[in-house]
Amino acid sequence: MARDALWVALLLAGPLLVVALAVGLVVSVLQAVTSVQEQTLAFVPKLFAIGVTFLFLLPWMIQRMVQYTSEIFRALPGLAG
C-alpha cells in the first residue's frame, strides 16, 4: 500500500518536475550564453511552463487520484482486520 502511494505521488509529480527541470536548464543556458545573471529571470518561464503542463495533465491526474483513492477504500476493510 505504501509503495503504491509513493508510486502514485511520483507519477503525478514527475511530469511537472521534468518540465521545471527542462525549462530551468534552457533558461540557464540562455543566461550563460548572453551573460545575463538575473535570478528572477528563470522563475517566470518555469512558473508558466508548469502551469500549462498542469492544466494539460489535470484530467489525467484527477482520474489517477480517483482511481487510487477507490483502491484504498476497497482495501480498507482488509486492513482493518
Buried b (16+ CB within 10 A) or exposed e, 25-61: eebeeeeeeeeeeeeeebeeebeebbeebeeeeeeeb
| Cell numbers placing 25 | 536548464
Within the chain, residue ranges assigned H as helices are 2-34, 43-80
| Domain spans in the chain, listed from the N-terminal domain onward | 2-80
Q: Which residue has the higher pLDDT, 77 or 80?
A: 77
Q: Which residue has the higher pLDDT, 10 or 79?
A: 10
The sign of the torsion formed by the CA atoms of 54, 56, 61, 62 equals: positive
What is the chain's Cα-based Rg?
Answer: 18
pLDDT tens track for 23-73: 999 999 998 899 888 877 888 999 999 999 999 999 999 999 999 999 999
Whether 81 has a pLDDT exceeding 80, the answer reads no
Tell me, what's the pLDDT at 78?
86
